[in-house]
């Protein structure tokens, strides 16, 4: 009895210091741009998830929408030894792969949000050896849902004149979305893409692009964009041109608060649902579990994180009045 009690006391004495010495984890979030509202919402999710742990600290880095800047950040983190994990929203989904591979070899866990890393944007499984988790959806899936919605609207219009506002065609993911739009809309003889503008995820840039387009094509029927920020700028240009935004079919992407308000008011027609805060939370939890030696899924589909249709419309919002988007815009 005395022996058992002594063993229990020794066991307890040994266990207590071990528990108190739980390893601290420093996790870097490499934003595509820390000034971008979508990226800020991802980091808000990362911070909220980190707050659930006593030993997790996070820090955001500004990628400045620059592939070069982000590549250097990964190299510095891999060489510095301060950070245990990286969560990245990549600017260059292909070029960043080499730097991340070196970081993983240096013992840094890596999770990616919004897009996979590697040459195949529709392949959600790890294309970089050792990559811990991808929290994203296939860009083709969302772009297809948007294009199908435009096809439905245009069914009784001939011609149906469409303006596409995309981020930047130099980005592989925006190029893939644009190719998806062109493929699906091109299968319908009544639909004509009259112009394609680049908004660079900026309302100001999008406004200027839309002003230029309207000078050449004042009688459009549809504005199709991959980003709500683009529609915000386009709306100003459309109203300045004397057109009624609510009489056009307009669809954005991202599901921010501004889009929700505009759709409820009947000004915009719809937007593609996205959940940046949930992406950040899921990525943080996955890399922490991986650091703790747990097995985590290599892909978490963004569309599994919340229950909404891919295209959010006024009809759906009216039926779900308590719905709250995850970012302001």
Q: What is the pLDDT of residue 22?
A: 65
CB 300 within 8 A of CB 131: no
What distances in angstroms separate CA 66 from CA 12, 95, 140, one per listed residue?
A: 52, 11, 23
Q: What is the pLDDT of residue 15?
A: 42
Tell me whether the CATH fold assigned to 25-137+275-297 matches the one assigned to 140-273+310-319: yes
Partner residues linked to 252 by β-bridges:
271
Burial class for 206, CB neighbours closer than 10 Å (0-12, 13-18, 19+): buried
Helices (H), the chain: 2-20, 37-50, 67-80, 97-105, 139-154, 172-185, 203-216, 228-240, 257-264, 276-291, 314-319
Q: What is the pLDDT of residue 165?
A: 98
Q: What is the pLDDT of residue 11?
A: 43
Instruction: Give the angle subtended at the CA of 195 by the CAs of 191 and 196, to the nearest 5°.
Output: 110
Q: How many residues does the chain have?
A: 329
Q: Determine the Cα–Cα distance for residues 256 and 265; give it in Å rounded to an integer.
A: 14
- Residue 92 C-alpha from the chain's centroid: 14
Domain boundaries, the chain: 25-137+275-297, 140-273+310-319
Domain 25-137+275-297: give its CATH code: 3.40.50.2300
In CATH terms, the fold of domain 140-273+310-319 is Rossmann fold (3.40.50)
Burial class for 26, CB neighbours closer than 10 Å (0-12, 13-18, 19+): middle
DSSP-derived secondary structure letter, 22: P
Query: By three-state DSSP, how is residue 136 classified?
Result: strand
Residue 58's CB is within 10 A of a number of other CB atoms, namely: 20
Q: What is the pLDDT of residue 23?
A: 86
Q: What is the pLDDT of residue 186?
A: 98
For the chain (329 residues), the mean pLDDT of every run of 10, in chain order, is 42 42 88 93 98 97 95 97 97 94 98 96 95 96 98 98 95 93 98 97 96 97 96 97 97 96 98 97 98 98 94 98 93
CB 139 within 8 A of CB 115: yes
How much is the pTM?
A: 0.86
Q: Determine the Cα–Cα distance for residues 322 and 307; give it in Å rounded to an integer.
A: 13
Q: What are phi and psi of 170, to 5 degrees?
A: -75, -20
């Amino acid at each position: 009895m005395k022996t058992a009690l002594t063993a229990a006391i020794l066991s307890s004495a040994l266990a207590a210091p071990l528990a108190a010495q739980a390893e601290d984890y420093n996790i870097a979030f490499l934003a595509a741009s820390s000034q971008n509202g979508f990226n800020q919402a991802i980091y808000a999710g990362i911070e909220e998830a980190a707050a659930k742990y006593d030993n997790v600290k996070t820090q955001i880095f500004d990628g400045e929408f620059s592939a070069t800047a982000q590549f250097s950040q990964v190299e510095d983190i891999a060489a510095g030894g301060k950070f245990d994990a990286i969560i990245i929203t990549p600017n260059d989904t292909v070029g960043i792969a080499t730097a991340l591979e070196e970081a993983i070899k240096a013992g840094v866990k890596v999770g990616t949000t919004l897009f996979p890393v590697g040459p195949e944007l529709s392949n959600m499984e790890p294309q970089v050896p050792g990559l811990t988790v991808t929290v994203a959806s296939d860009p083709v899936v969302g772009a297809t849902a948007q294009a199908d919605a435009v096809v439905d609207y245009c069914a009784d219009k001939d011609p149906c004149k469409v303006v596409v506002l995309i981020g930047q065609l130099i980005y592989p993911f925006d190029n893939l979305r644009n190719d998806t739009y062109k493929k699906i809309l091109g299968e319908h003889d009544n639909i004509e893409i009259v112009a394609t503008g680049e908004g660079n995820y900026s309302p100001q840039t999008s406004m200027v692009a839309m002003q230029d387009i309207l000078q050449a094509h004042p009688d459009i029927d549809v504005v199709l964009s991959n980003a709500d920020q683009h529609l915000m700028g386009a709306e100003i240009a459309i109203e300045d041109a004397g057109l009624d935004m609510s009489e056009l079919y307009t669809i954005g992407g991202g599901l921010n608060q501004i889009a929700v308000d505009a759709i409820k008011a009947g000004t915009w027609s719809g937007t593609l649902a996205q959940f940046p805060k949930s992406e950040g939370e899921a990525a943080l939890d996955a890399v922490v579990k991986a650091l703790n030696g747990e097995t985590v899924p290599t892909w978490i589909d963004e569309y599994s994180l919340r229950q909404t249709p891919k295209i959010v419309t006024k009809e759906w919002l009216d039926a779900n009045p308590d719905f709250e988007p995850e970012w302001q815009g």
